Amino acid sequence: MVRQESDSLVLRPTRAGLHEFTESVESWLASTGISEGLLTIFCRHTSASLLIQENAASAVGRDLQRYFARLAPESEVYEHDDEGPDDMPAHLRSALTQTHLSIPVSRGRMVLGTWQGIFLFEHRRATPERRVALHLIGE
Amino acid sequence: MVRQESDSLVLRPTRAGLHEFTESVESWLASTGISEGLLTIFCRHTSASLLIQENAASAVGRDLQRYFARLAPESEVYEHDDEGPDDMPAHLRSALTQTHLSIPVSRGRMVLGTWQGIFLFEHRRATPERRVALHLIGE
Amino acid sequence: MVRQESDSLVLRPTRAGLHEFTESVESWLASTGISEGLLTIFCRHTSASLLIQENAASAVGRDLQRYFARLAPESEVYEHDDEGPDDMPAHLRSALTQTHLSIPVSRGRMVLGTWQGIFLFEHRRATPERRVALHLIGE
């Protein structure tokens, strides 16, 4: 019978950029006993975001960070800068990536491809604790 | 026992840009009687999109609108311009943001962070009615 | 009573760009016998992505492909180029679009708008087989 589980993770990024937390999600998934279903990860912030990306080559993460730094740069003039020059670029980079990810679960595992990992994309230089909600429905 | 509810909202943006409709979603959620679950919001258009963003400072919305106007500008030459110069940029800005959002629900509320609101991002100057589908599964 | 179905599709894009596969998803949906629910499509790759876009004018697809080629160009210098000059741009274009789509189902059909189609966005020139996971929960 279909049932639900939910929880939250606290992530503590130590710098701006990509931080993989696939293993934390896998551990939680295993603890639920649900083997078939849909897992949703939701980032409760507007200056950090989520991304599924290549988990093997760390250069991909560095290239991604540099690319988004150019695409939504600090150097531009923004109306909103209440929390400093990295405030509005953080909102823009979040808007261009994901606030939530939904991943099917099959045989007790997320159906991630071989090279896919789950990342928090931290956009602020001062890196506060980040809270991520987890939801799983299945059986 | 897990059950489902679904509905649709008609949004009437009066100008291009971000339009918050968090309260409409909250009202509908309350009406369903479901307190734990997964809520999905789906935009049935390709020239408007959805975004979870900062709900406190209205300058964030204006900066976002100006940023996407520069990132996918009307000034470029596009092959597709059946409906005028804001037609193709609207598709591009939609592709760069979200067509759907899924948000876990806990204790009768969406697990939005303190500063997160749900926005329609209207990309056309002539602003037609916009239809958004709602789906909730839970108990 | 709420139940689940899951499957996977193998897509064989013959060139980089947008490839519609709405009909394959519709066929699978019809085969499940579930008429109300939530359908999730998940791309198991980090160099191809998913997009809901205009399904009528093929020029939209060509404009989208050219736009993303300019936005995340091959010409830039990236640290990561293990698989050639289209490797890192493929990751960037994936990060800017979607790895998964969730679409409510009502009366046996996805609630897509009239002009919405489901597309694989292939970012590599050499176009391998692409695997997409399908998940449906409903009744």
A76 and chain C in contact, CB less than 8 A: no
Dihedral angle sign, alpha carbons of residues B65, B71, B76, B79 = negative
- Tokens encoding A133: 């909600």
Tell me which chain A residues have a C-beta less than 8 angstroms from the C-beta of C3. Answer: 2
User: Mean pLDDT over residues A101-127, rounded?
Assistant: 96
Give the model's pLDDT for residue A127. 80
User: Mean pLDDT over residues C112-132, rounded?
Assistant: 95
Amino acid at C79: E
Neighbours of chain B (3+ CB pairs under 8 A): A, C
Give the model's pLDDT for residue C82. 84
For residue C34, the distance in angstroms to the closest alpha carbon of chain B comes to: 13
Give the model's pLDDT for residue A21. 98
Note the pLDDT tens digit of each residue in B81-98.
Answer: 888 899 999 999 999 999
Per-residue confidence of chain B (139 residues) as pLDDT tens digits?
Answer: 999 999 999 999 999 999 999 999 999 999 999 999 999 999 999 999 999 999 988 999 999 999 999 999 998 789 998 888 999 999 999 999 999 999 999 999 999 999 999 999 999 998 889 999 999 999 9
Neighbours of chain C (3+ CB pairs under 8 A): A, B
What are the two backbone dihedrals, phi and then psi, of residue A98, each rounded to the nearest 5 degrees?
Answer: -120, 145
Neighbours of chain A (3+ CB pairs under 8 A): B, C
Closest Cβ–Cβ partner in A38, A63, A101 for C88:
A63
Are C112 and B44 a contacting pair, CB within 8 Å?
A: yes
Note the pLDDT tens digit of each residue in C33-86.
Answer: 999 999 999 999 999 999 999 998 899 999 999 999 999 999 878 999 888 899
A10 and chain B in contact, CB less than 8 A: no
- Across the A:C interface, residue pairs with CB atoms under 8 Å apart total 86
What whole-number distance in Å separates Cα of residue A78 and Cα of residue A65? 20
B11 and chain C in contact, CB less than 8 A: no
- Tokens encoding C44: 């198991």
Closest Cβ–Cβ partner in B37, B53, B96 for A46:
B53
Going through chain C in order, the beta strands assigned E by DSSP cover 3-11, 17-20, 37-43, 48-54, 100-106, 109-110, 116-122, 130-138
Tell me which chain C residues have a C-beta less than 8 angstroms from the C-beta of B1. Answer: 1
Pairing of strands B100-106, B109-110: antiparallel
Give the model's pLDDT for residue A77. 84
- The answer to whether A42 contacts B116, with C-beta atoms less than 8 Å apart, is no
- The answer to whether B52 contacts A71, with C-beta atoms less than 8 Å apart, is no
What whole-number distance in Å separates Cα of residue C16 and Cα of residue C126? 8
- The answer to whether A135 contacts B57, with C-beta atoms less than 8 Å apart, is no
User: Mean pLDDT over residues A86-98, rounded?
Assistant: 97
Give the model's pLDDT for residue B14. 92
What whole-number distance in Å separates Cα of residue A123 and Cα of residue B103? 21
For residue C96, the distance in angstroms to the closest alpha carbon of chain A comes to: 6
For residue A5, the distance in angstroms to the closest alpha carbon of chain B comes to: 9
Residue C110 above 90 pLDDT? yes
- The answer to whether A53 contacts C46, with C-beta atoms less than 8 Å apart, is yes
Strand partners, C134: C7, C41
Alpha carbon distances (Å) from C3 to A91, B4, C9, C33: 38, 11, 20, 11
Note the pLDDT tens digit of each residue in B47-64.
Answer: 999 999 999 889 999 999
- The answer to whether A36 contacts C3, with C-beta atoms less than 8 Å apart, is no
- The answer to whether C36 contacts B79, with C-beta atoms less than 8 Å apart, is no
Give the model's pLDDT for residue C75. 82
- Across the B:C interface, residue pairs with CB atoms under 8 Å apart total 86
- The answer to whether A42 contacts B103, with C-beta atoms less than 8 Å apart, is yes
Tell me which chain B residues have a C-beta less than 8 angstroms from the C-beta of C96. Answer: 95-96
Tell me which chain B residues have a C-beta less than 8 angstroms from the C-beta of A72. Answer: 67
Note the pLDDT tens digit of each residue in A34-74.
Answer: 999 999 999 999 999 999 999 988 999 999 999 999 999 99
One-character DSSP codes across A73-124: -TTS--S--TT-TTHHHHHHHHHHSBSEEEEEEETTEE---TTEEEEEEE--
A23 and chain C in contact, CB less than 8 A: no
